[in-house]
A and B are shown apart, each in its own frame.
Chain A
Amino acid sequence: MTVRPIRIHASVLPGIAVAAMLLLLAAALLAELAVRATGLTLAFDRELARIVAFTTMQAALSTVLSLVVGIALAWSLAHQQRFPGRGLLIAMFSAALVLPTLIVVLGLVSVLGRSGWAGDLYNAVTGRSPGFSIYGLSGILIAHTYLNASFVVRTLVNRLEAVPPENRKLAHGLGLSAWRRFRLVDWPACAPSVRGLAVTIFLLCFTSFAIVLVLGGSPRYNTLEVAIYEAVRFEFDLGRALALALVQLAVCAALVAFVGGLRATGRSIHGAATMFAHLQGPAVNRLQRTIIIAAAIAFALPLIATLIDGSRAEFSRLLAEPVFARAALTSVLIAIVSAAIVVTGSVAMALTRRQFTLANRWADARGSPLAALAMSYSASLYLVFPALVLGLGFFLLARRLGGPADLWAVAALITANVTLALPFAVAVLVPTAERAAARYDRLAVSLGLAWSTRWRAIEWPLMRADIGYVAALALCLSLGDLGVIALFGTQDFTTLPWLMYQKIGAYRTADAAGVALILLSLVLATFIFVPRLFSGARHAAP
């Protein structure tokens, strides 16, 4: 095979520029952390080892639980195509990705907390108070499983529905048991995604902040992210913060290198596959329906609790508070700017990355695999530099370079939001861009279409629905994020999640529930309506 050199073409420059900026940002942050580390006594002590051990343990347990629950639920949903309300459930699990973690935490506390619904019910039935506490490891695991099992479901239902019907017919025709059908037909369909899912979930739980901050309850249950936050915010011990950050960075970088970034998860899950639920036998059908019902209740209850608790808030007073108006305005403005950057950056990266993977472009050219890999890794920056490590980098830069603190805070927040949404955005848009090009690239080249004509006639109609989804995703993730703001938040510079956290900390639970309800409404409305702004021409999708 002749190996061709890559010719740099103007069409790939935007994507390369975005990747280069991200890698430059990573290098700058790394340099800042490393430079500062040389001037400080890093506290690599037993306490740090204990935090690392707990962070790893809770992430590993959360990953296993999320996978077990997610696989069982995906298997059940994929096979029960006619389950009443299946479409609504699927929409709910799709939306879990954008639910602000603090809202999930608040909802779980309302249901499973000391005076929560479950405790009251247990008390009414047994006359005793439950020994269970939502605060501590169990609460952390439940919240992580709640959010990440949905992520597993989103990915695996698609995989299970893509199994050729012939394979399912064969398994039923041979009379294989339910367990053997799972092992021979369902599991092989899921297995290729499970390693990527496991590493991604482990990373997300390893770098979990808001959940551990609220549900951890004591320093015993601190993860690295929370420990960084406490070292900067309360102890102002930069040596400890840097040691924690560097350990976190090393683990995350190793794992990202291992898995190579997020895999495509698809825009939504939907079902039109051929399943044979009527042939499964009553016990298997009962099991699947029980799993779906249990998961639906477990998923819906915290959200219902948020709605009910929130509706009791004193909205006239809450909305009139100047701090609320400031928080809402800051949240919305930062979300819009972040989403615009995410959409522009991810489209540029998707259109560029396909040039390095398409057979009729440069897939066989020298350096193409490296270029494609560099683009994947640059898009996965957040997984290496989670919110608090990134925030710490900006914090140190701000202290060294000076300038208006608010400006640094805004820059840090937007950067964190962009890097948070980018892996998901790229994972959605790259396959779409590749499919569009695989179908029309030769035709477009043979017709000699100009770049702008090609975008208008091919890419935009085929990608607009996914771009709408990416815009909604970026807006929602940005609106609900409680990460960097924890380092930079003040009374004047605040966002809705930070305001909610402050109200929880001040035991103003009703106010916190009110803010949660407003934030939840804002996020869900964005997730439902923003994609519609981009809808149309969906029929053109390949």
Chain B
Amino acid sequence: MLRLEDVRFAYSHAADAPRFRFDMGVEPGTIAGVIGASGTGKSTLLDLIAGFQTPQAGRVVIDGEQVTGLPPAQRPVSILFQNHNLFEHLSALENVVLGLAPRRRPTAADKETAAAALARVGLAGFEDHPALNLSGGQAQRVALARTLARRSRVLLLDEPFSALDEDNRADLTPLVRAAVTEHGGAGVLVTHDLNDCERLADRILEIRDGQLHEVG
């Protein structure tokens, strides 16, 4: 489903610049958890899959198609960050609709789909709420609604629970799983929190010395 084949990357040619070499595969309907201390390359891994960084060598493959040279918008990928997932001056519904119609005027069907996605994450009635006024948990739900509505094949999770309390984590876990599994997609969760990894991931890898190692 998602494969990184000998993907090599360095931010600069300097001798002391960190170098990364990633090999991994994620099966359909599963989530791979990646742990590692700050600065070990967790975000770099996600940037390479999403297309924000281009590898110096190797291939990124999604559903059998190589996407290595494609810009982020042309990859079937959605991302859920720890925060700043929403455009704060837009409403909850507008944020979700934006994911469905990023380059055209939204239709009534787009708005219906977005409203249904909001209802699914427990935010029916919050359509017109400005994103700025939402709590951390509500904001993550709106971002998740957008992800659900977009039906992307790959969901990248960049410490999505770090800013949330335990109740919100418990509520959001099945929703995140559903976003990944119900369309047979794949997920990659990066986090420094082993508990989050165990809660959500089907297998766990660790980034050490710029490479991925299976740990469980």
A residues touching B (Cβ–Cβ < 8 Å)? 164, 166-167, 169-170, 172-177, 180, 184-185, 188, 276, 278-279
Contact = CB atoms under 8 A, between A and B. Distances in A.
Most chain B C-beta atoms within 10 Å of own C-beta, residue among A166, A173, A175, A184: A173
B100 to A, nearest CB: 9
Contact of B74 (A175, A176, A180, A184): A175
Contacts of A170: 79, 81, 84-85, 87
Given A174-B73, A175-B103, A184-B87, 18 more contacts: A166-B85, A167-B87, A170-B79, A170-B84, A172-B52, A172-B71, A172-B72, A173-B72, A173-B78, A174-B98, A175-B72, A175-B73, A176-B73, A176-B98, A176-B102, A185-B87, A279-B51, A279-B52
B103 A177 contact: yes
A169 B102 contact: no
14 contacts: A166-B82, A166-B84, A167-B84, A169-B79, A170-B85, A172-B52, A173-B77, A174-B98, A174-B99, A175-B71, A177-B103, A180-B103, A188-B89, A279-B52
A386 B54 CA distance: 54
Given A166-B81, A177-B103, A180-B102, A172 B73 contact: yes
B50 interface: yes
B103 A176 contact: yes
B73 A173 contact: yes
A188 B88 contact: yes
B135 to A, nearest CB: 18
Nearest to A184: B87
A254 B86 CA distance: 38
A103 B73 CA distance: 49
Nearest to A181: B102
Contacts of A173: 50, 72-73, 77-79
A267 B79 CA distance: 36
B1 interface: no
Interface in B95-150: 98-99, 102-103
A276 B71 CA distance: 11
A169 B89 contact: no
A167 B99 CA distance: 13
Contacts of A166: 81-85, 158
Contacts of A164: 83-84
B79 A188 contact: no
Contacts of B90: 184
A174 B104 CA distance: 12
Nearest to A274: B52
Interface in B40-66: 50-52, 54
A194 to B, nearest CB: 14
A173 B87 CA distance: 13
Contacts of B84: 164, 166-167, 170
A169 B48 CA distance: 12
Nearest to A281: B71
A190 B102 CA distance: 22
Most chain B C-beta atoms within 10 Å of own C-beta, residue among A174, A185, A188, A279: A174
Contacts of A184: 87, 90, 98
Contacts of B54: 278
Contacts of B89: 188
A279 B74 CA distance: 11
A276 B52 contact: yes
A169 B156 CA distance: 12
Contacts of B73: 172-176
Contact of B87 (A172, A188, A276): A188
B168 to A, nearest CB: 19
A175 B52 contact: no
Contacts of A177: 102-103
Most chain B C-beta atoms within 10 Å of own C-beta, residue among A164, A175, A180, A188: A175
Nearest to A176: B102
A176 B94 CA distance: 14
- What 9 A-B pairs come out closest when comparing CB atoms? A175-B73, A166-B84, A164-B84, A166-B81, A174-B102, A173-B72, A175-B102, A172-B72, A176-B102
A166 B85 CA distance: 7
B161 to A, nearest CB: 15
Contacts of B87: 167, 170, 184-185, 188
A176 B50 CA distance: 15
B158 to A, nearest CB: 8
A172 B70 CA distance: 12
A438 B194 CA distance: 34
A174 B72 CA distance: 8
Nearest to A185: B87
B83 to A, nearest CB: 7
Contacts of B81: 166, 169-170
A169 B85 CA distance: 9
Contacts of A175: 71-74, 102-103
Contacts of B72: 169, 172-173, 175, 279
B75 to A, nearest CB: 8
A179 to B, nearest CB: 10
Contacts of A174: 73, 98-99, 102
A298 B158 CA distance: 44
